[in-house]
Amino acid sequence: MKKIIVLTTILFSLSILLIAQNNNSMTSKSEYIEIAKFQLKAGFSDEQFLQAEQTVRKGIIKDTKGYIGRELFKNENNEWTVILRYDTKENMDALLALLKKNLHPSFQDYASMIDFSTMRKEFLFKKI
C-alpha cells in the first residue's frame, strides 16, 4: 500500500511539473527584433569587424533602455547577419534615432566597415 501511495505522489508531482513547464513555454516577454544582413567593405577583415562588434556591445547599445541582446552570424557567402533584440519597438526606435542624430564613437568604426549598399533589414515582433 505504501508503494502505491508513494508512486501516486510521484506521478502527481511529475504531472504538475510538466503542466508548469508547458505553461512557461507558452508565455514569453514581448520582443522587437531587427535582423540586418550585409557584407563588409573591401579591405576589412573578419578580425577587425569582430573587434568593432565587441566595442559596440560594450558601448552605447548595452546601456539603452529595453536592450535584450545582440547576436552576430556569418554565412559561407561572407554575408553577416546581426540580430538585435529590444523589449519594445519604441525602445529600439529610440536607439536608432540616437544613432542617426549623433553617431556614437563606439559605433563609428563598426559602421565604417559595413557596405550599406548590400544591407537588408527586417523588423519582427516576437509572438511566442
Three-class DSSP category at 120: strand
Domain that holds residue 69: 32-125
**78: phi > 0 → left, psi -120 to 50 → alpha, else beta; which?**
left
Per-residue pLDDT of the chain (128 residues; tens, 9 = 90+): 666 664 455 555 555 655 655 555 555 678 999 999 999 999 999 999 999 999 888 887 888 899 999 999 999 999 999 999 999 999 999 988 888 776 677 788 899 999 999 999 999 999 87
**58: phi > 0 → left, psi -120 to 50 → alpha, else beta; which?**
alpha
Residue 25 domain-assigned?
Answer: no
Residue 15 domain-assigned?
Answer: no
CATH code of the domain in which 49 resides: 3.30.70.100
Residue 117 domain-assigned?
Answer: yes
Residue 114 domain-assigned?
Answer: yes
What is the number of structural domains in the chain? Answer: 1
Residue 119 domain-assigned?
Answer: yes
Q: Where are the beta strands (DSSP E) in 44-113?
A: 67-74, 80-86
